[in-house]
Structure 1
Amino acid sequence: MERRLWMLLIGLTILLSGGPVWAQGSLEQRLNNWPDWSLPAPLPRPSNRDDLIYPDWFDGLWQVESIDLDAPGDPALLHQARFQADQRGRLIGDRSFNATAIGRALLGEQLLGVEEDPDSANRQIARLKGDLFLETTVTGRRQESPNPETFLADELVLQILHAPGPPRLSRIETLSRYSRCGEDICAEQWQGRYASPGESLRDKAIAQHHYKLRFTPLPASAPSV
């Protein structure tokens, strides 16, 4: 259970800009520094209305296969993901649907539901059995499209697991690189976990993970979570 909760912390895929030097950096440069990541990261703080805006080739419902390259013996994680236009015509991820799909794949009925903050596109709460709930807030985000076939996105999130006793805080950075593979989307993700704010004098990543993903399109009528 402990390991699956940690995987959920990572999966609810997503501190601040360090100044002018970082402002000129690219996500490819950030990737080149992995796994030697540290904070601050080159990620501006999003406003409440900001969201991750995807290229139009993400539109629709997808079957996602995720493989942990650091644990080759583990089975692939299978879940759905959905991307759709918001009220402003921007293509965004359906964060509640996607988080629920990942949570169900990892925890089954242990996940009771996922709620979005109506006042912020960057905050969610996942409620779990046992009076647990996980609060996730995006504190930094950057995206780049170096060419029409490639999309990079980097998000830093603050996650707070509320449970009996003191809350547990984590900061997780996820850098994703997506590319078109015919009708599919191929992707890699690199993640770094940092200690709680103020816990360490040097904000270096204390754990790293590397994933390979493939998105296969599903018909809109496919069964969903």
Structure 2
Amino acid sequence: MRVVRVFWGLCLVIALFLGGSEAVAGQLAERLASFPHWHKLVVQVAQGDLVYPDWMAGSWNVTSTLVDAVAPLAPEIVSPGFESNRQTLQQPISFPVRFEEKKLFQSRSFTPTTIQSGVVADRAFNGLSLAKAYLGDAVIAVKVDPQSPNRQITLLKGDRQLVSIVSGRATETPGENQFITTEVFQQFFRTQDSRPYFNEVESTTAYHYFPQSQPTITADQVTAVYLSPQDPDYFAAASRPVALYRYRLEFTSTEDRGSRSSSEL
């Protein structure tokens, strides 16, 4: 059960699922600035892959550091694993991730299918890398639904599964070298000998690109955990999160960025 609690508390440090709609100007930036005074954010239904800025393309080593952890409804309501997660404050964890250019197919009602290229996350690779960084050998595999980039299953030892489904998201582009995204996940953990555990997770991340520096990309990320309707404290919590985790992310390229840029000309 300890592994389950750590996994829920740490949630998804990087938004690895994709597709989005443009948010009201400044809404996501203002949300980050208001930490820890958060309530549920209303976003559009997630469709397709999120297209990242071109400067996200490539292979990176990410260092993630939990810099703050808040339980807004404590002591009355505290999410499982919150206290143990607090023990990881200021302890950096590193793992590799990849973002790649792919052809994207978009189809809407009464309109023909269109094809365009864009930079998206390598969801299976990133998901496995992230899970192993936090849970080690407890992780067997991470699988992405071939029919939907918004559904991912993490297989754990002991016949346990964590299912994550992206239900909504939004993005903002405040400037040429800035990108903000919010994704809302419906997650449930299931085993053979106990009933599934449900909750809702929101991850809001602001990326900043510094082309001449290392780390090349830094990010401010807040992960909010909300109770599901199945939880007995659901109505008491209402639209407020039961846990908030704030991370500092640093992306260091594992490629020769100069050679990459030249080859793309």
**Smaller-chain TM-score range?**
0.7 to 0.9
What is the one-letter code of the residue matched to 1:211?
A: Y
**TM-score, structure 1 as length reference:** 0.85
Equivalent AA in structure 2 for residue 218 of structure 1: T
TM-score with structure 2 length normalisation? 0.73
Say whether residues 1:208 and 2:249 are aligned partners.
no
Higher RCO (CA 8 Å, separation ≥ 6 residues):
2
* Structure-2 change in CA distance of 1:12 and 1:212 (3 Å): closer
3-state SS of the aligned residue for 1:27?
helix
Residue aligned with 2:12, SS: helix
Q: Which residue of 1 is the match for residue 260 of structure 2?
A: none
> Following superposition of structure 1 onto structure 2, how do residues 13-28 of structure 1 map, counting pairs within 5 Å?
13=15, 26-28=27-29
Determine if contact 1:156/1:174 at 8 Å carries over to the other structure.
yes
Query: Which residue number in structure 2 is paired with residue 195 of structure 1?
Result: 227
Shift of 1:45: 0.7
1:111-126 pair list within 5 angstroms: 111-126=139-154
Q: Which residue of 1 aligns with 2:77?
A: none
Query: Unpaired segments of 5 or more residues in structure 1?
Result: 15-21, 221-225
Q: Which is greater in Rg?
A: 2
Distance 2:63 2:14 in 1: 15
**Alpha-carbon deviation of 1:193?**
0.5
SS of corresponding position for 2:149: coil
Query: Do residues 146 (structure 1) and 174 (structure 2) align?
Result: yes
Match of 1:137 in 2: 165
**How many residues of Structure 1 are paired with residues of Structure 2 in the alignment?**
210
The answer to whether residue 79 in structure 2 is matched with residue 51 in structure 1 is no
Q: Which amino acid aligns with 2:44?
A: P
Which whole-Å CA distance do the structure 2 matches of 1:44 and 1:86 have between them?
Answer: 23
Q: Which residue of 2 aligns with 1:223?
A: none
Q: Residues of 2 paired with 1:207 and 1:45: CA distance? A: 23
Mapped contact 2:188–2:199 kept (Cα < 8 A): yes
1:25 Cα deviation (Å)?
Answer: 6.7
- Distance across 1 between alignment mates of 2:124 and 2:28: 26
Q: Assess if the C-alpha contact under 8 Å between 2:26 and 2:174 holds in 1.
A: no
Identical counterparts, % of pairs: 30
Which of 102, 106, 113 is the aligned partner of 1:86? 102
Instruction: Say whether the 8 Å CA contact 2:172–2:180 is kept in structure 1.
Output: yes
- Give me the CA root mean square deviation: 2.1
